[in-house]
Copies of this chain bind each other. A is one copy, B any other.
Amino acid sequence: MATPRSTSTDIARLAGVSRATVSYVLNARKDQSISEATRERVLAAARQLNYVPNAASRALRGGLSHLVMLINSGVPWSTNVTEVEDELTRLVAQSGRSLVVWRRQGPDDLVSTLANLEPCVAISTSFIGDDEKALLATVKIPLVESDLVAPGSDIPARLQVEHLVARGHERLGYLTTSEPTLQRFATPRTEGFVAACAEFKLPEPRVAAVPGGLGVTVESVKEQLRAWQSEPRPVTAVACFNDFHAAVCLAAATDLGWWVPEDLAVMGLDDDIFAPLTRPALTTVKLDPHGLARHLWATAQSRLHEAPEPHPYVMDARIVERASVSETV
């Protein structure tokens, strides 16, 4: 505990060479010629001393840290988010860097975190305010924003329509969130849903936004379902912003004494961890978090001038059929 970490100076002393030689050996520089004998001696000394280079001085010297920051606010309950994190962690590690994820609490924390962390690039899958973007710009840290908002982010919602139409539904409801930080994902999905309905020549769908992420209550959704039911031509299927909303919807329908999918079909989005466990099991849309992660990292690398800018991300999505939408109406 009292003895400090060993440094390259210690290695140099032990191997009987200069510190520069140590640096050349450990970084395997091929424009420097080092005799095999000293190379071995240096490596042996490094092993013996359990040498791990000091990150701070390396970052100071090189101008850039080897850290990639993933900004992740809210949405603690989606499997997709952790899958993106895991895949990104793997990809970033391959470049010798490390991915760390930071769970943002307030907007103020970002300043001090950036000062403490000093990542070479920041990636965000969630909402980032303009002032925060400005902050990142002043400290010269490139920001990669999730392209979920790009062309293609309406695809999952369109798939929901497509599937419900194929199952014979015409009168559709769409249950989304009014949470401000989720509008980035919610808005294009809602628009895609409405547009797809129009393209299929369906009557205009009913759209309802219930308050935020975890704040959705079964009661409020029950009320909404009842309202839709009491219309002259009631909706026969409800598609949801995500699986959590769908689970609430399922619970609400059950509490109303309706049978799913007979009285009402329910469709989710995300193929979250609990989707196969609801009864009836949730028919949903699976996205491709790994593909997204790859695209985010490719974009980040292009910002680091290590790679060309990748093609725009095209969302990959597919239906996962379970039991909450019947085979045919």
A interface list, Cβ under 8 A from B = 1, 4-5, 50, 52-60, 65-67, 69, 76-77, 79, 82-83, 85-86, 89-90, 93, 96-103, 105, 109, 111-118, 138-140, 214, 218, 244, 247-248, 250-251, 254-255, 273-274, 276-279, 281
Contact = CB atoms under 8 A, between A and B. Distances in A.
Given A77-B79, A77-B273, A218-B276, 20 more contacts: A50-B139, A55-B65, A55-B117, A55-B118, A56-B56, A56-B58, A56-B65, A60-B60, A66-B116, A82-B103, A89-B105, A93-B109, A93-B113, A96-B112, A98-B112, A100-B100, A101-B102, A244-B274, A251-B277, A251-B281
A273 B195 CA distance: 32
A112 B98 CA distance: 7
Contacts of A96: 112
A60 B54 contact: yes
Contacts of A273: 76-77, 214, 244
A247 B66 CA distance: 41
Contacts of A250: 277, 279
Contact of A101 (B59, B93, B100, B254): B100
A82 B85 CA distance: 14
A7 to B, nearest CB: 12
Counting from the closest, the 3 A-B pairs by CB-CB distance are A76-B82, A56-B59, A100-B100
Contact of A116 (B60, B97, B102, B251): B97
Contacts of A59: 55-56
Contacts of A99: 102-103
A198 to B, nearest CB: 32
B55 A115 contact: yes
Contact of A52 (B1, B82, B139): B139
B52 A138 contact: yes
A85 B56 contact: no
A100 B56 CA distance: 16
A98 B117 contact: yes
Contacts of A85: 103
A149 to B, nearest CB: 24
A63 to B, nearest CB: 8
A54 B277 contact: no
A296 to B, nearest CB: 15
26 contacts: A1-B140, A5-B139, A52-B138, A55-B59, A55-B65, A55-B116, A56-B56, A56-B58, A57-B60, A65-B116, A66-B116, A76-B79, A76-B86, A76-B273, A77-B82, A77-B273, A82-B103, A93-B113, A96-B112, A100-B101, A101-B101, A101-B102, A214-B273, A248-B277, A251-B276, A279-B279
Contact of A277 (B102, B114, B247): B247
Contacts of A248: 277
Contacts of A281: 251
- Output the residue of A76, A83, A98 with the most chain B CB within 10 A: A98
A216 to B, nearest CB: 9
Contacts of A54: 60, 118
A299 to B, nearest CB: 16
